[in-house]
Amino acid sequence: MSRAGASTSVRPIAHQSLVDRVTDELHRAILNGDIAPGSAVSIVDLCEQFAVSHIPVREALRRLESEGVISLRPGRSALVASLSAEDLTNIYELRKLIEGEMTLRATATMTEERLADAERALAEYVDIVREPAALAAKHHAFHAAMLADVLGTADRRVLELLWKSSDRYLHLLMDNIDREPETQQIRIEEHRKLLDLAAARDAEGLKAAWIAHLDSSQQAMLTALANREGSGAA
């Protein structure tokens, strides 16, 4: 390989890791509400806060823009996406459409090993501390385990984008979602039902229950969002 080819074949590791760190921190701040929905962020200010040049900051913002978290504006600023019932509904309608169909394929190829993976993921989800990031991670681990054998590269990329989008609502609305032990238990039972239907190889039953589970989550978050807007916190 020529020197020119070698110089353009890889990206500097230090730069890549710096962009990752800036992206992660910005994502954390937006998910936690430290940077409020609908607020503008200055690229210059972010560079000063992170003590880095504008290059990793702009790259981090471009990544978050691809996830729908922020939108870049002309000049040196970006706008954090607002929360909206329409956006939340669109996210869940797409999830129901895609994941519902995938359950049919997953049931046909479900192995005992995959069921065991889902069982472990569910046990961890049940025991997890009620903290948004940890709860979302274990929740998605269960869903991913159930669908793992039928997820292609493109499927996974699309679903991860939708999961991240729904996670943002979960983080910011957590205080008003499933607060009562009884409601939390119902959510656990919904997941247990999904696992039982998969074990029984009931494809149509699993699809219907999966969509009902997503619809239940959607409605809970829409209610929490309405309460948030009603209190003037949006």
| pTM over 0.85, yes/no | no
Smallest Cα–Cα separation from 119: which of 149, 100, 140, 146? 146
One domain, residues 135 and 208: yes
Q: Any idea which residue has 């472990």 for tokens?
A: 120
pLDDT of 6: 45
Q: Please count the structural domains in the chain.
A: 2
Over the stretch 93-150, which tens digit does the pLDDT of each residue have?
999 999 999 999 999 999 999 999 999 999 988 887 667 777 888 888 899 999 999 9
Domain boundary among 80, 103, 133: 80
pLDDT digits (tens, 9 = 90+) for 176-188: 776 677 778 888 8
Q: Which residue has the higher pLDDT, 127 or 158?
A: 158
Instruction: Name the burial class of residue 6, with classes exposed (0-12), middle (13-18) and buried (19+) by CB atoms within 10 angstroms of its CB.
Output: exposed
Longest dimension (CA), the chain: 65
List the domain range (segments joined by +) for residue 104.
85-230
Considering the domain architecture, whether residues 209 and 93 belong to the same structural domain is answered as: yes
Q: Residue 150 in contact with residue 109, Cβ under 8 Å?
A: yes
Specify if 126 maps to a domain. yes
Q: Which of 12-16, 156-160, 173-177 is most confident?
A: 156-160
Write out pLDDT tens, residues 119-129: 999 998 888 76
Point out the domain boundary residue: 80, 95, 112: 80
Tens-digit pLDDT profile for residues 31-77: 878 888 999 999 999 999 999 999 999 999 999 998 888 999 887 88
- Give the distance, in angstroms, between the CA of residue 22 and the centroid of all CA atoms in the same chain: 18
Q: Are residues 104 and 40 in the same domain?
A: no
Angle between helices 153-173 and 132-147 (to 10 degrees): 150
